[in-house]
Amino acid sequence: MSTKWTMITGASEGLGVEFARLAAAEGRDLILVARQVQKLERLADELRARHNVAIEVLPTDLSDPKAVEALWRRAEMRRHIDVLVNNAGLGYNGPFTGSEFNREMSSIMVNVTGLTILMKRAVAHMTRQGGGHILNVGSTAGFMPGPNMAVYHATKAYVLSLTEAVAEELRDSPVTVTVLCPGATATNFIKDAQMEDIALLKALPVASAKRVAKAGWTAMKKGKRIRVTGLLNKFFAVSPRFAPRALTTRITALFMK
């Protein structure tokens, strides 16, 4: 039984691909999860050829709680998963009164429900097995309300709060929980969430997925609770503590238009 299995959700593109490359470069065996099986298989072939690691591809719809439970049961079978990267995430840019109800409900199921199920199962599994690391991919969006992306910001606030709370519960255990909070990152999420024309992307630099993933991976291995990437993003993360909440919300609305 391998003691070095890493499970990564949203592994078909963007940050997920970069996390997988980092893990494989360390000789870690991989469980790659996403809906797009062809992209997962191409990545698996690349990493097997470069690093000679074992990889299992498990295509899963993470918006379906029953599918997420089945995923975990299959993934942990005869394995010690000592790293879980909850990277999968959905979002939608547009007014709350818009027509993307199904998209927003899927965002809640993936960003909140699916993440929570996997985290819950992983904590119990890692505790039994003697330790491990969980990395939840949040966002600077989690530090403030987000008009025009209200549901996404709310889900990332949940991820931030959940991670901090559980990390404190596990303070004296061999299991650590880290939340990575990047700002805008060069991935397909921007296009999928219909964010290409928002003011934020015109005003601020967009970070590379490779750099953001490396920062999160390093923070996870050190057992840090929160990692915000980029100086401007750190400013945005702390500013709600000092500015009136209504003002912060108004400013965020302007950036998200």
User: Which tens digits make up the pLDDT trace of 35-86?
Assistant: 999 999 999 999 999 999 999 999 999 999 999 999 999 999 989 999 999 9
Q: Which comes out higher in pLDDT, residue 169 or 91?
A: 169
- The residue assigned the tokens 């609305």 is 253
Cα four-point dihedral sign 211, 186, 55, 47: negative
pLDDT digits (tens, 9 = 90+) for 117-166: 999 999 999 999 999 999 999 999 898 888 888 999 999 999 999 999 99
Write out the E strands in the chain: 5-9, 29-34, 55-59, 81-86, 132-137, 175-181, 226-228
Q: Where are the domains of the chain?
A: 5-256
Number of neighbours of residue 244 by Cβ within 10 angstroms: 9
Q: How confident is the model at residue 107 (pLDDT cuts 50, 70, 90)?
A: very high
Q: Are 180 and 216 in contact (CB under 8 A)?
A: yes
Q: Are 7 and 85 in contact (CB under 8 A)?
A: yes
Number of neighbours of residue 66 by Cβ within 10 angstroms: 9
Q: What is the DSSP string of 19-82?
A: HHHHHHHTT-EEEEEES-HHHHHHHHHHHHHHH---EEEEE--TT-HHHHHHHHHHHHTT--EE
Instruction: Give the Cα separation of 166 and 243 in Å (integer).
Output: 28
For the cut 70, the answer to whether the pLDDT of residue 20 exceeds it is: yes
Fold exhibited by the domain 5-256: Rossmann fold (3.40.50)
Select from 30, 147, 8 the least CA-distant residue to 79.
30
Q: Hey, which residues are catalytic here?
A: 152, 156
pLDDT at 149: 87
- Two tokens, residue 10: 């949203």
pLDDT at 1: 41
pLDDT digits (tens, 9 = 90+) for 157-216: 999 999 999 999 999 999 999 999 998 776 665 555 454 455 455 556 677 889 999 999
- Strand 29-34 to 132-137 pairing: unpaired
